Amino acid sequence: MALRAAVAVLTIYSWTLAGAIQAFFSPSTNIRENSTFMPLGTLEVLSESVFTTLTHPAFPAYGVRLKKSQFCDGGVNAYTGYIDIEARHLFFYFFESRNDPNTDDVIFWTNGGPGCSSGVGLFMELGPCRVHNAEKGTVFHPESWNSNANIFFIDQPIGVGFSYADYGEYVSTTEEAAQDIAAFVAIFFSHFSKFQGRGFHMAGESYGGRYLPAFAAAVYDQNAYLVESGIPPINLSSVMIGNGMTDVPTMMPGWYKMQCTTASVPPVQDIQTCIQMKAKLPRCIKWLKESCQDVFDLINCSTAMAFCQVSLMEPYVALGLNNYDLSKKCEGNNLCYTVMEEIVKFLNRKDVQLSIGVDVTQYESCSSSVGLAFGRLQNDLLHGSTEYVAALLERDIRVLVYVGSYDWVCNWIGNEAWTLALEWSGHEEFASQPLREWNVARKRAGKTRSARGFTFATVDGAGHMVPYDKPKESLEMVKRWIAGKPL
């Protein structure tokens, strides 16, 4: 969830994408002379009782171990496993398509946080099954995104969900995490030829708006290395960002508007508080622009963030409303959804852990230590990912930004603002498009604008977790997007 990161006051950020690429493609990662590689070939040979380890000489520090795990949707093949990066281990799930796994595209899904498990996306939102009650187990989910696509769910970075490190290592920047994801994708596709050349779509929500553009850039840039190494390149087709925290400074004015205007629902905040917030808003916008966007200044940007959070966030939190759906009260823990507590209980059942083959016996939906590492230790939050989005669009990688209309923390106003301000060759064409309605079953599902592979869309009546609130509409949106059709 983005709120966990948004309330942090952050310190120094030192990793750059250039540094990550230089480290990733250093001579030590080149294929050794006379090395041989034997792809596994097919997923069907995998066992349910033991892991099979996949390696590739182009990535000597990485291994992928996986096994069959029929625990969720008996109608499709399911697999679980770990991406092993020496002492670090990332857990993932993989489900084949319900339609035609031999021809359908592949989706990669990550939740946000930073520090929240994609088990939330799997069991609450868009996976083949859902968990409503931990003791009763899973129930079939008809609107799963694997209806027409093969799909990964990954617990990343290290320390999230069932992912772990042997010696207390951790990852604390988005660019650093991107290396692991890119290598995993390359190894997996190199072993299973039937997926090679398929459309590959990187999707997620919340802090995934910061992750995904950088992850996709790493996958794209890595393709040159793959071709040089004799490995088929990844057919990166699109990025899908749901309720993303892609550029924090543009989100904050939306916090005021969502509380005090009819931008989503009737005003939820009292008049006096709204007047006080509005008086502080110009200073907030000016300070963020000068110290976080125009020229990055760590001390001033951190101070501006803190000022804006206190001014615009704390009044909302005091209302007791759901941070991720301002039409509802917050229930249960600080994540505001009691169903998440059931998912945690389910994934802590020993029989479930034995079935999926995890190394970690204590599961949490979100990790405070990972959030701290990305926040106060490396201030990853202060650095947006809009430049990655622009670079991907210039290379004909399509980008979809969709937002539930009821979300407060990563609201549609802030997301629309950064999409309209994005500097790229299609800026004027995109920004000049009016919002139009898009429909599902002849009923309005939201509003959208699109130009040259860049699409912004709202989903009416949905909060932060769009597939949870509007499963039919979200599935139809994804089907159209993957097929290259307009919403």
Question: Please, what is the end-to-end C-alpha distance for the chain in angstroms?
Answer: 26
CA-CA distance, 90 to 106, in Å (whole number)?
Answer: 19
Q: Which residue in 56, 141, 427, 464 is the catalytic one?
A: 464
Asked whether 145 and 151 are in contact (CB, 8 A), the reply is: yes
CA-CA distance, 259 to 269, in Å (whole number)?
Answer: 5
One-letter amino acid for residue 198 of the chain: R
Asked whether 420 and 249 are in contact (CB, 8 A), the reply is: no
Q: Which residue in 73, 407, 460, 469 is the catalytic one?
A: 407
Closest to 219 measured CA to CA, from 204, 232, 235, 203: 235
In DSSP terms, 211 is beta-bridged to none
Give the DSSP letter string of 147-207.
GSSEEEEEE-STTSTT-EETTS----SHHHHHHHHHHHHHHHHHH-GGGTT--EEEEEEET
464 is catalytic: yes
Helix H or strand E encompassing 18: helix 17-24
427 is catalytic: no
CA atoms within 13 A on the CB side of 18: 1
Q: Which residue in 118, 206, 291, 450 is the catalytic one?
A: 206
Say how many C-beta atoms besides its own lie within 10 A of residue 166's C-beta: 11
229 is catalytic: no
Residue 391 CA: distances (Å) to CA of 24, 164, 216, 225, 396? 20, 32, 10, 19, 9
Torsional class of 451: left (φ above 0), alpha (ψ -120 to 50), beta (otherwise):
beta
Closest to 131 measured CA to CA, from 76, 72, 79, 80: 72
Question: Catalytic residues, which ones?
Answer: 206, 407, 464
